[in-house]
Amino acid sequence: MSTAEEVPGLLVPPDLEVALLLQTVWDMLAMGGHWPTYERVDRVLFHQHHLDIATVMSRTSTELLRGGRPEGGAPPRDDGELTLTLAGAASCSGSGPAIDVVVAAARLAAAAERDLDPAEADPLLTFADVARELGIDPSRARDVARRSGLLLVSEPWTGSNSLSEDSWQLRVDRRARPYAGVHDLAEYWGRRKERAPASRDTRQAAPAENIIQLNRRWRLGEQLGEGGFGKVFVAVGDDGTAVAVKFVPKEPGAERELLFARQEGFRNVVPVLDDGELGDDYVLVMPMADATLRERLFAAGGGLSVGEALAVLIDVVTALTDLEGQVVHRDIKPENVMLLDGTWCLADFGISRYSDASTATHTRMFSLSKEYAAPEQWRLDRATSAADVYAVGVMAFELLAGHRPFPGPGLHDFQEQHLTQAPPHLGGVSPQLDAIVQDCLAKQPKARPTPVSLLQRLEHAATPKTAPGFSALVDAYRQHCEREVAAAAVVTAQDITNMTKQKRRPGLAAAASRTWARVSTTLLSTVLEAAPGVAVYHLDDGGWLVILDGAALELSTAWPVPDLAPRWPFDVIAHATVKVVVHPTHADWEGRSHSLWYCDAQREGQYGWFETAFMSQHGGGPQEPFALWPEKAEGALSDVLASTQVAWPFTELVPGETDEFGDRWIGWFGAAVKGKLFRPSFIPESDPAGSWRRA
């Protein structure tokens, strides 16, 4: 079954409190076999979730829920029951089997009406008929029969029908004809929208006074949709420009300026063409989008190609680079990404700030877009641009895999998954691209890439490159094979608000280990791609060693580092080493090794893997330059002239990529295999001055 979010035109809950109300109604139906009363749902919401049902129902459309009391958003029923529509049920966990029955019933009803002899009476369709079609044993599916029968009552093509405790039957007439051949909810809903009576359509007529005057005059048309923070109408300007007009209710606790955020100079955001106030609403006028990203995903039937996904992500992250430090969106998801004139743009970043400010702290968790919310948002911490990067990571996973990294389905399931569970790795993409997504989904905000860094990495991933080091190793391996032929031869979720540096270290160490594993895997896979027959040795410490014709390339595991403060100018979390060893014929020089430190060497609080190396003031050692453990490198980083000095500038590694770092090392290894790697003529080879933070 398609999820509610994947069905174009199907109204979905505007916020998590409404979603919780609908889920509660469905769960109580599942437990009791009948629609629950308003009073029973009220008690559950109040005692289990501290929610006021009247407040939540005032935001709940009758296209999702019916019944209740007059003060609610839905008209009352005489029996006091709350009932879900098919759209309301579609947003609930556990409703899939019943909705599948409704869709199959429509398909069978259309077939029965088509095959009917004109002289005969209307055919009768039963649950047993549908169960056989779906391969269900009717005697073991009484609950499904009951729930599907209750949902069928409100469908526009059903007429006279009867419902028992464990079955149902209905008479079929011409109204079922449009549903011939439907197989899923999306297809069913598309035909239902086209043919259902206007009173059942989610679109509503514009207000009677359909001319509004802001800075410009606009003529309102039909209502396009409704969410927790506003209604949206089609409108046309005096010059014929078609636009979307959003009415946002004025809410206590939220200032006007939060809604009307400055947009000048921001690329790839949906612009506000006009704005103002009308009565109890703020009004925003925006261009009509060609499509939303959610609609594109639905049209694609799942994920997108790598090329198309990268193009979308680059457009979105370009917007984030401009917004960084000024506006945090807080609600990035495919529904808020719009296609305008060939560019994917962020929409509603003012709405998200307004929503956040006008929602009470204790209920804010229920207003999150649960599928995309960052761990710190679940903890009710202050959101920064890192929360937007996390949401982009979830969206990137969805674009590439066709599903989200965390399946939920319930509110607290999502909370647990975002806070504690590591995301799965992406299949069918490069290690480089998988690493980008994994880094965006880091539990620690400071372990995620900045928008600028993320944009650079995405652009890099989208641009094929010719790597000279890779080519050098391919050539070296080819020569090796010719000679042989000739001779016949995981941050945890328990991070606390305002953590101290010491409490933050375990989470950062976990991020360091996870990203280092990807660096290691990527480099080794590149070596094996270039030289598939090379000997590989996996070391006890978790590192690896490859040997070819007496030359070797070695990469260690990542080791944790004790806190070096206050003696150090920056914070080092973990370290590793990379080494190339030349052929033993080099009597006085064994090769070179570099240090790799997970630290905030250049920007305080911004952690990543940095490559560096050291040299002795006296020179001439067997390894030059050489790696050092951080504990032994204090003198080299001080302002005092020491016997050991920095020989390689601190250079940040981009996890998952082989360019620069990876290509350089496999190039050195290829040269060593050929016997053409020598001690550097000058050290340092590049000026390291200014490449790390001073105390």
DSSP per-residue letters across 618-673 = S---SBSSB---GGG-HHHHSSS--SEEEEEEEEE--TT--TTHHHHHHHHHHHHH
Q: Are 611 and 666 spatial neighbours (Cβ–Cβ below 8 Å)?
A: no
DSSP per-residue letters across 574-609 = EEEEEEEE--TT-TT--EEEEEEEEE-SSSTT--EE
Q: Are 572 and 597 spatial neighbours (Cβ–Cβ below 8 Å)?
A: yes
By CB neighbour count within 10 A (0-12 exposed, 13-18 middle, 19+ buried), where does 248 fall? Answer: buried
Instruction: Measure CA 42 to chain center.
Output: 33
What does the DSSP 8-state code read for residue 450? P
Q: What is the dihedral of CA 516, 521, 526, 529, to 10 degrees?
A: 180
DSSP per-residue letters across 233-269 = EEEEETT--EEEEEEEE--TT--HHHHS---TT-TTB
Ligand-binding annotation for 246, yes or no, is yes
Q: Are 21 and 53 spatial neighbours (Cβ–Cβ below 8 Å)?
A: yes
Q: Radius of gyration of the chain from Cα atoms?
A: 31
Identify the sign of the CA torsion 446, 447, 448, 451.
Answer: positive
- The SS3 call for residue 675 is coil
Beta-ladder partners of 546: 536, 553
Beta-ladder partners of 626: 614
Closest CA to 299 of 307, 288, 308: 308
| Token reading at 86 | 């098919």
Instruction: Output phi, psi for 273, to 5 deg.
Output: -80, -30
The residue count for the chain: 695
Annotated active-site positions, please?
331
Q: Are 244 and 287 spatial neighbours (Cβ–Cβ below 8 Å)?
A: yes
Closest CA to 634 of 597, 579, 680: 597
Bridge pairing between strands 211-213 and 82-84 = unpaired
Produce one character per residue of 105-136: b if its CB has 16 or more CB atoms within 10 Å, e if not: bbbbbbbbbeeeeeeeebbebbbbbbbeeeeb
Cα–Cα distance list, 401 to 331, 377, 395, 562 (Å): 21, 24, 10, 38
Q: How far apart are CA 201 and CA 190, in angstroms?
A: 11
Spatial neighbors of 278 by CB under 8 A, at least 6 apart, are 212, 247
Bridge pairing between strands 242-249 and 281-287 = antiparallel
Q: Are 644 and 616 spatial neighbours (Cβ–Cβ below 8 Å)?
A: yes
What does the DSSP 8-state code read for residue 301? T
- The SS3 call for residue 342 is coil
Binding-site positions for ATP: 246
Question: Which residue ranges are tagged as binding site?
Answer: 246
